[in-house]
Amino acid sequence: MLKEYVRSVAIARPTFVMFVATILTGVINYVYQIYMGRSLGAGSYSELSALISILYIVAIPASAIQNVMVRYVSKYKAKGMYGAISWLMRKTLVIVLIFAAASVIILLLLTPSLEDFLSLTSVLPLFVLSIGIFLSFIGPVVTGPLQGLQRFLLLGTQGVAGALVKLLFGVILVIAGLGVAGAIGGIVIGTLVALVLCFYPLRKYFSSPGTATDSKEIWKFTVPVVVAVLCMTVLTNIDVLLARHYFSAHEAGLYAAASVLSKIVLFVPGAIAAVMFPMVSDAHARAVEPIGILRKSVLLTFALCLIVAIVFLIVPNIVVGSLYGQEYLAADGILRILGFAMVFFAIASLFMIYGLATDYRMLIWILAAATIMEILLIFLFHQSVEAIAIDLLVSGITTTALSSFYLRTKRTKGVRSASRE
């Protein structure tokens, strides 16, 4: 009983810290989105949303690095191998800088094609975006170790600060007449400030050469991480890009607004997963059964996310109208559907994190299969923006159901094997 209480407190306190920080960051980010939606208009706002989706998708390797850093920093911390943490951070930074430069070059070469595919009104936002992509690659090299070291207060603080700076400079640059390019510029400046705040407390790790360790295991882990992050990012962002491609600028703007609002549902697992990943990884490294952490995380996530989705179901017109204005009221039907789709993606993201932390790789391949299914569904069924939202709902339900079934089957077999022994 005492051990169970200690475990609950250990999860609850950092979860509360990250939940508060995530909510604050999310609120600021939504103020940014709402301001841009109202200031730019539906057409330009859909362009901004499509470019932000490109940022998320191109920076997938960086997001994968975040999970790799969390996994191995938490593992080395559990074993007292702080020299290995320094070595990992320094080596990863060098690799990341190379990938960042290559990604920016590729993006610039693809500028004419992207301009045509997304019907962009100017290429300037793409050039500004390239700077943001470069910085986004560096971010996980510092935020990952903070999470792995379980320094959640500092991690949350830099997130809030970065969001505030993004909002401030985004508003200033848009007012100055820079439009979509100015909105992207705010993101770039906010990312830079967050990086600076993270580097200082970790300076001792970067200044020390550290102790080299076997990197084969790390590279082996990196592959499923890249696949997992790629799939989760595509699952929750590709719809905005394709909506911009298939529909008029106004309809795509309505969809973008509904998509942004629906992602409020993802706030909760963002905070919980940030705490769950290092704890599950730490427990797994010490051969302690971590399924209880997952179970509590899923139940809490489902309960809180469902409340938000129900609000979207009952009063979507009030939510859309009060936040984005009358121009976006037609997005209420899309929001009803996407709200519930994000509930299932929220739970699926926890299964993904659990799979990465415990080497249950089948959970990652289930995610990959669901991603392929979603893309095919959108290509086949995009008669309306509501149809694309339904495609996401089907994909979310399928991913969560298959992941849950796999874990239940896996644990049942494990219990039977243990009883035989």
pLDDT for 212: 76
**212-262 per-position pLDDT tens digit:** 776 677 777 777 777 887 888 888 888 988 998 888 888 998 999 999 899
Per-residue confidence (pLDDT) for residue 210, from 0 to 100: 74
What pLDDT, on the 0 to 100 scale, is given for residue 24?
Answer: 87
Task: Calculate the CA 18 to chain-centre distance.
Answer: 15
Residue keyed to tokens 């529909």: 247
pLDDT in the model for residue 421: 44
Q: Which residues contact 372 (CB under 8 A, 6 or more apart)?
A: none
Q: Please indicate, yes or no, whether the overall pTM of this predicted structure exceeds 0.75.
A: no
In the chain, which residues have pLDDT < 50? Answer: 1-10, 414-421
Q: How far apart, in whole angstroms, are the C-alpha atoms of residue 344 and residue 120?
A: 32
What digits encode the pLDDT tens for the residues 43-73? 889 899 889 888 888 777 777 777 788 878 8
SS3 213: coil
The confidence score (pLDDT) of residue 8 equals: 45
Q: Left (φ > 0), alpha (ψ -120 to 50) or beta: where does 212 sit? A: beta
